[in-house]
Amino acid sequence: MKKYIILTILFAIQFAQGQTPIDSVQKIWTLEACIDYALENNISVKQAELSKNITEASYLATKSLRLPNLSGNASQNFTNGNSIDPITSDFVSQQINSTSLGLNSQLTLFQGNQINNQIKQGKLLIDQYSLYEEEAKNNITLSITESYIQLLYAKENILIAENNLEVSQKEEERAKARLDAGSIAIKEYTDAQSQTATNRYLLINVKNDYALQLLNLKQQLELPPNTNFEIEDADEIILDIVPDLNEVYSEALENLPEINAGKINVSLSEKDLDIAKGGYLPTLSLTGSLGSGYTSTQDYNFTDQLDLNFNQRLGLSLNVPIFNRNKTKSEVQTAKINIDKAKLELAQEEKDLYKKIETAWQNAITSQSEMEAADIARNAAKESFRLAQKQYELGALSTTDLILSQNTYTNTEQNYIQAKYLSLLYNQLLQFYQGNDIKI
């Protein structure tokens, strides 16, 4: 009974602190879970989404340029002396107390087709910022993938370091027994002690590296630093065949949002040119107004005067540009230059993309070849170290030689896992450029 009471009290304390026992359970995160969470919570992605929302609001305002405006006005005036009555327009020489009320509206019928081009440009901007949002999601996806693979590498490094420390400790015990038996000199025992200390130091370093990599990933996920977090162990890594370079580049040109955004940027500059050319054409507007008022110079009351003085006006306004100090000419020339700049930026973007893809492709081929060579080297070093241990146990090998053999095996293990995870990273990068999902 006391046991259940204690458990109940502990649960109540955790609940009061805002944390249930379930919250304290460490969650195992897969790469897919990390990517999905980052796409929902990362600050850069949210900023890109807000920028797109701003362009959508601007697009609504641009479409409304086709609508007429409407404004109301009211004024109260007191005039003394010779003046013109603001309601009757009569010239009078007396005190005037007047009230004016009115509604005014204007509708642009034609403005050099500028409004239509501005609306088309606004739609292009929405498409472009949607691509920028997609690019931000791609960037965080790649960043999360790289950090996750680095964590896998660091985690496997810990396993190697722990195994090396365990082996060193056993070797130190054997050396101590042989020293006590008088079969080795004290230097060989101290060498074994030194190797154990070195491997313990290396284990601390790789654990620290893992902790830093883990913190980096949590920050990319916008998780609090104290969040219980652990990644899933990698299954057997199966690498895809490295695809053809030109095929990857061709597919990337079609799929990547930054390239499509660059193409839209050219179209936006062309719309700027159309809008600028519209400045050479006349503007035709429809105007209208309603008005009434009250003046103390008339004998009618306020309500009657509002009815008697009620007036309506409807008109057309034509504005023909003749000379505006070369403003329109300058805007047209600037727009043409911006088109050329946009095309050059697109060409540079495509050039940079090809460099990235070729680098990833070359690194994928190199790292896979290195992994195959490292696998052969580590298997050979593993067998050599096994034989060295047997010789050491029989007293046919010195501690120094055993340590050298162990270090050689450790280096080949590290070379292998480094090549393995680099191969995985570049392989996934090429899959991404082809428009395929990233998954381990």
Alpha-carbon distance of 345 to 338, in angstroms, equals 10
pLDDT of residue 17: 42
Task: Give CA 86 to chain center in angstroms.
Answer: 61
Alpha-carbon distance of 20 to 15, in angstroms, equals 5
Q: Are strands 96-111 and 91-93 parallel, antiparallel or unpaired?
A: unpaired
Q: Are strands 311-319 and 69-79 parallel, antiparallel or unpaired?
A: unpaired
Domain ranges of the chain: 27-41+113-281+330-433, 67-111+282-320
Three-state DSSP state, 167: helix
Q: What angle do CA 102, 103, 108 make, to 5 degrees?
A: 145
DSSP states along 254-311: HH-HHHHHHHHHHHHHHHHHHHHHGGGS-EEEEEEEEEEEEETTSSS-HHHHHHHT-E
pLDDT of residue 26: 58
Helix (H) or strand (E) holding 93: strand 91-93
Q: What is the CA radius of gyration of the chain?
A: 39
Pick the closest to residue 24 from 11, 8, 33, 34 (CA basis).
11
CATH for 27-41+113-281+330-433? 1.20.1600.10
pLDDT of residue 85: 86
- Is there a shared CATH topology between the 27-41+113-281+330-433 domain and the 67-111+282-320 domain? no
Helix (H) or strand (E) holding 104: strand 96-111
pLDDT of residue 4: 39
Alpha-carbon distance of 144 to 150, in angstroms, equals 10
pLDDT of residue 360: 96
Contact 168, 407 (CB under 8 A): no
pLDDT of residue 143: 95
Q: Which CATH architecture has domain 67-111+282-320?
A: Single Sheet (2.20)
The residues, ordered by sequence, that sit 6+ positions from 31 with a Cβ below 8 Å of its Cβ are 144, 145, 148, 231, 232, 438, 439, 440
Q: Does the global pTM surpass 0.75?
A: yes
pLDDT of residue 87: 86
The per-residue pLDDT string of the chain (440 residues; one tens digit each, 9 = 90 and over) reads: 444 344 434 433 343 344 433 344 557 899 999 999 999 999 999 999 999 999 999 999 999 999 999 999 999 999 988 888 888 888 888 899 999 999 999 999 999 999 999 999 999 999 999 999 999 999 999 999 999 999 999 999 999 999 999 999 999 999 999 899 888 889 999 999 999 999 999 999 999 999 999 999 999 999 987 888 889 887 777 787 899 999 999 999 999 999 999 999 999 999 999 999 999 999 999 999 999 999 998 889 999 999 999 999 999 999 999 999 999 999 999 999 999 999 999 999 999 999 999 999 999 999 999 999 999 999 999 999 999 999 988 888 998 899 999 999 999 999 999 999 999 999 999 999 999 988 77
